[in-house]
Structure 1
């Protein structure tokens, strides 16, 4: 078959070009293998192993609680501040690990990418799955702490938790596809990700109440702040685990609207990330 005939053949695929995120679902077995590899190598050679999934958030909580809760007296200003704080930390940790993993997924699997062809999106999606697996112990710990403090089950709370988690995963995957593709040729992309992660804890109501921004910021800036997918996600976590313990605490007006806006931003980010990824994926093997 000549090149021209092959190029017009409907079954002909350009080498190095996949089907985007659709190709991930058509290669679920390969995805499961990559996720298993990521889980088993995460703590390879570590004595504590999976215990580190509890140690890091525990250390973060202790440090922030002593500074923000005790020294700055947020423990008195915000009811059940330990649950409020830990819910935010768990949400931000999921975003941090998901974005960091997806950004470095291609460079971490450089030897595999150079040898054989796989749909390139498999690597960041599998990295996202590994981040989700390591998030689950923290979520279970949050649930146990909230239950110990008097939390009661509600379907609205579970729905808020799922919405917040989906916001984080979609937003992190979109950013990870974008920066991961650029990171193959320009390692500066990793530094931009580090900057984003450095500000992520402070750009959402994790260590402070959203009312502080509402009282001090202009309305237009407050609306931008609340439309941030991470702000909406953190507030969804608070709605799920903290508000049932402090029902008289002020709730953000139009939170669902802000969550929808944050979801639209996250989906738009995912589309842009996929387009950039598709544009650059043909050069991944040689650049790695």
Structure 2
């Protein structure tokens, strides 16, 4: 068969060709293996193992609560400020771990990428799955704390929690695909991600309330702030676990509009990240 007829054969596919994130669904078994590997090696050789999934957010919460709530007394008059604070910390931790894992996913699997071909998107998607697995203990701890404080189950709260988690995952995965591809050729990308993560806690209402931004920032800056996907996700976590405990607290006007904008930004970020990733993945093996 000639080369021309071979290329016109509908069953012929160029070796190494990828359909992007759609290929992840076609290689679910490989994704499962990578996910199991990531979970198994996370705390390999650690004495405490999975206990660290509880210790780290607990220590982070304790530090912020002592400084913000006790020393500075900036609890904003909330009776359940610990729940408000912990809900925001859990949301931001999911974003931080997902973005950090996906940014390093390709480089961390350099030995495998240089030996065989498989859809490169499997690595950041598996890294996202690992972040979600380690997010579950934190979410469970938040759920228990909220219950002990008098939180009652409601479907609206569950929906808010799920949507908030989805926004964080989509946004972090999109950024991770973008910076993960750049990180293969330029390791500066990892340092840039560290800067994003450093500001992420302060650029969303985790340690303070949204009213402070509304009262002190220009209106245009407030709109930008509220349109931030992480801000919307953190507020959805607050709606899920903290607002039922303090229903009299005022919520942002047009909050649903901001959530929809944040969700749209997350989708656009995912699309841009996928485009950049696909354009650069052909040189991953050589660069690594």
Verify same fold: TM over 0.5: yes
1:239 paired residue number: 239
1:131 paired to 2:131: yes
Structure-2 residue corresponding to 1:210: 210
What is the CA–CA distance in structure 2 between the aligned matches of 1:223 and 1:275, rounded to whole Å?
28
Aligned to 1:271: 271
C-alpha distance in structure 1 between counterparts of 2:47 and 2:243, whole Å? 38
State the match for 2:259 in structure 1: 259
CA drift at 1:79: 3.0
Distance 1:273 1:20 in 2: 11
What's the CA shift for 1:76?
5.4
The 2-side partners of 1:192 and 1:10 are apart by 43
Q: Superposed, which structure 2 residues align to 1:146-225 within 5 Å?
A: 146-225=146-225
Rounded to whole Å, the distance in 1 between the matches of 2:80 and 2:171 is 29
Q: Distance in 2 between matches of 1:76 and 1:212?
A: 10
State how 1:51-200 maps to structure 2 within 5 Å: 51-75=51-75, 77-200=77-200
Q: TM-score under structure 1 normalisation?
A: 0.98
Q: State the Cα distance separating 1:6 from its structure 2 match.
A: 2.5
Q: CA deviation at 1:33?
A: 0.4
Report runs of 4+ in structure 1 exceeding 2 Å deviation.
1-17, 74-79
Q: Which runs of no fewer than 5 residues in structure 2 stay unpaired? A: none
Question: Displacement of 1:78 after TM fit?
Answer: 2.6
CA contact (8 A) 1:75 1:81 kept: yes
Counterpart Cα distance in 2 of 1:151 and 1:174: 33
Runs of 5+ consecutive residues of structure 1 not aligned to the other structure: none
Q: What is the CA–CA distance in structure 1 between the aligned matches of 2:5 and 2:79, rounded to whole Å?
A: 70
**CA offsets, 1:224-246, max 9 Å, x none?**
00000000000000000000000
1:286 aligns with 2:286: yes
SS at match of 1:15: coil
TM-score, structure 2 normalization = 0.98
Distance 1:3 1:69 in 2: 71
SS in 2 for 1:75: coil
Deviations 1:2-28 (A, max 9, x none): 333332222222222211111001111
Conservation of the 8 A alpha-carbon contact between 1:16 and 1:281: no
Distance 2:287 2:14 in 1: 18
CA drift of 1:219 comes to 1.1
1:4-23 alignment, distance < 5 Å? 4-23=4-23
Aligned length: 288
Does the CA-based 8 Å contact 1:74-1:81 persist in structure 2?
Answer: no
Q: Does the CA-based 8 Å contact 1:103-1:124 persist in structure 2?
A: yes
